[in-house]
């Protein structure tokens, strides 16, 4: 008789101890963190912040999409950079004068130099000149992330030119133009082909785009646009989830990095609680494949868009498309820490203690790894380092990003116009 392998026995024990219904483990209050855990999270946050210090052009401030030599700037990464510099200065991790200089330089470059169409920046720009590269599109979501980062930075420097320039960037965007005379916002536009054939038609990171476009003081879209997109739902392991098509964890994180959804109710949906369930489902989906994937375990999970052995892919779990090949993106679990603190902290410890020699470097965790193919990313991705910085800030600093961002008049206007209720 064949004796089961130790790995097989361990997996059977795992399913006995960790049933198919995901664990609800929002138990680690940041004020009750073990000092060693707090120190590790702060180290990851500060190291991830270094990406933006080292990867932003010294003349324009535009931030490279990745650490790969020759990488162009990404407008979304630049938005995260604006936020990260403001956060870093607030803690004294960056000299305040240096942060002000960076923010001023970058905002002026965005206003005067960076190529755009009706205020929508091109997805990828030459970091030195600000000119469009790779025939990239004028991107609606990437512009929204840039504007969100600028508005957050403005909250750290009220009444300064930084705040004034941030508002000018926001006011210049013709959000209504990107509707293309339809009910939904288009994903982008190119000079060669006009509007793309893809529209923001269902739940994902689009919420930050919609919030800024509806709440804008200039060129706003109609409030009816809020109800035009689909809230697809599925019962997964006994829990209702409003899900994104890709199932990638970043889609449940990006809007939440800025907007505090905890007290907000959209009809009968609380998007914060929804992200808790979606994160648990993403992890559970990984556990179901532990027999086939060496890297998956209760403390090793995180399916999200990332680099992989075959290039960049929108990895994700269920509900959704559920694309996976054993590739894990550490940022995905780390940036879920506001949703699943206990599970995320255990994953952080696992990644750092077991794989730091191959996975951790000067800018924190590299993008991803795949044990089945013995593949380890050598690159950092700007947007992944950015979401790490912001979500750790919300967790460790009592929601400080949320508090500042929710103070924006535009966000209050969006809440009122869209009919979202605030829980008492």
pLDDT higher than threshold 70 for residue 13: no
Residues 67-96 have a mean pLDDT of 98
pLDDT higher than threshold 50 for residue 25: no
Q: How many CB atoms lie within 10 A of CB 112?
A: 10
pLDDT higher than threshold 80 for residue 31: no
pLDDT higher than threshold 80 for residue 26: no
Q: How far apart are CA 78 and CA 149, in angstroms?
A: 8
Q: Which candidate, 51, 38, 127, 58, places its Cα nearest to that of 88? A: 51
pLDDT per position as a tens digit, 107-138:
999 999 999 999 999 999 999 999 999 999 99
Predicted TM-score (pTM) of this structure:
0.93
pLDDT per position as a tens digit, 236-281:
999 999 999 999 999 999 999 999 999 999 999 999 999 999 999 9
For residue 422, the surrounding DSSP H or E stretch is strand 421-422
- What residues contact 93, with CB distance under 8 A and at least 6 apart? 46, 49
Residue whose token pair is 């803690």: 91
- What residues contact 130, with CB distance under 8 A and at least 6 apart? 60, 62, 73, 109, 113, 114, 115
Q: How far apart are CA 351 and CA 367, in angstroms?
A: 12
**152 contacts 82 by C-beta, under 8 angstroms:** yes
Q: Which candidate, 418, 383, 395, 313, places its Cα nearest to that of 146? A: 383
Q: What per-residue confidence (pLDDT) applies to 203?
A: 98
Q: What per-residue confidence (pLDDT) applies to 30?
A: 81
Residue-range domains of the chain with CATH: 32-422 (1.50.10.140)
Residue whose token pair is 């794989």: 355
pLDDT higher than threshold 60 for residue 21: no
Residue of higher predicted confidence among 317 and 9:
317
Burial of 4 (0-12, 13-18, 19+ CB in 10 A): exposed
pLDDT higher than threshold 90 for residue 396: yes
Q: How far apart are CA 186 and CA 138, in angstroms?
A: 10
Q: Indicate the pLDDT class of residue 28, thresholds 50, 70 and 90.
A: low
């Amino acid at each position: 008789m064949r004796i089961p392998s130790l790995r097989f026995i361990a997996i059977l024990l795992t399913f006995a101890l960790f049933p198919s219904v995901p664990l609800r483990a929002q138990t680690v209050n940041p004020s009750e963190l073990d000092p060693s855990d707090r120190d590790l999270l702060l180290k990851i946050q500060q190291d991830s912040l270094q990406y933006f210090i080292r990867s932003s052009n010294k003349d324009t401030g535009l931030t490279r999409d990745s650490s790969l030599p020759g990488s162009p700037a990404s407008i979304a990464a630049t938005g995260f950079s604006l936020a990260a510099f403001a956060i870093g200065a607030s803690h004294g991790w960056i000299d305040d004068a240096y942060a002000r200089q960076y923010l001023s330089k970058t905002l002026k470059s965005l206003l005067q130099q960076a190529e755009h169409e009706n205020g929508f920046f091109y997805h990828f720009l030459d970091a030195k000149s600000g000119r469009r590269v790779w025939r990239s599109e004028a991107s609606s979501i990437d512009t929204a992330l840039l504007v969100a980062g600028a508005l957050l930075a403005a909250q750290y420097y009220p009444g300064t030119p930084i705040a004034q320039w941030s508002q000018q960037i926001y006011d210049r965007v013709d959000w209504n133009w990107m509707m293309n005379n339809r009910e939904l916002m288009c994903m982008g536009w190119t000079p060669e082909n006009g509007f793309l054939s893809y529209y923001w038609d269902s739940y994902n990171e689009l919420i930050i785009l919609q919030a800024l476009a509806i709440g804008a003081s200039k060129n706003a879209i109609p409030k009816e646009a809020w109800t035009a997109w689909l809230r697809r739902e599925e019962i997964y392991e006994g829990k209702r989830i409003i899900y994104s098509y890709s199932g990638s964890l970043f889609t449940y994180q990006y809007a939440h990095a800025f907007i505090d959804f905890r007290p907000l109710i959209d009809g009968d949906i609380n998007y914060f609680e929804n992200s808790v369930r979606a994160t648990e489902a993403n992890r559970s989906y990984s556990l179901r494949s532990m027999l086939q994937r060496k890297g998956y375990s209760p403390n090793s999970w995180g399916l999200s868009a990332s680099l992989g052995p075959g290039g960049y892919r929108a990895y994700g779990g269920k509900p959704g498309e559920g694309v996976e090949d054993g590739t894990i993106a550490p940022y995905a679990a780390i940036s879920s820490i506001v949703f699943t603190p206990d599970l995320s902290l255990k994953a952080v410890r696992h990644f750092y203690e077991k794989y730091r020699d191959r996975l951790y470097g000067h800018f924190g965790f590299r993008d991803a790894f795949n044990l089945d193919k013995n593949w380890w990313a050598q690159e950092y991705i700007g947007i992944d380092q950015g979401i790490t910085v912001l979500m750790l800030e919300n967790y460790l600093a009592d929601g400080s990003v949320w508090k500042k961002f929710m103070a924006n008049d535009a966000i209050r206007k969006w809440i009122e116009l869209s009919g979202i209720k605030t829980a008492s």
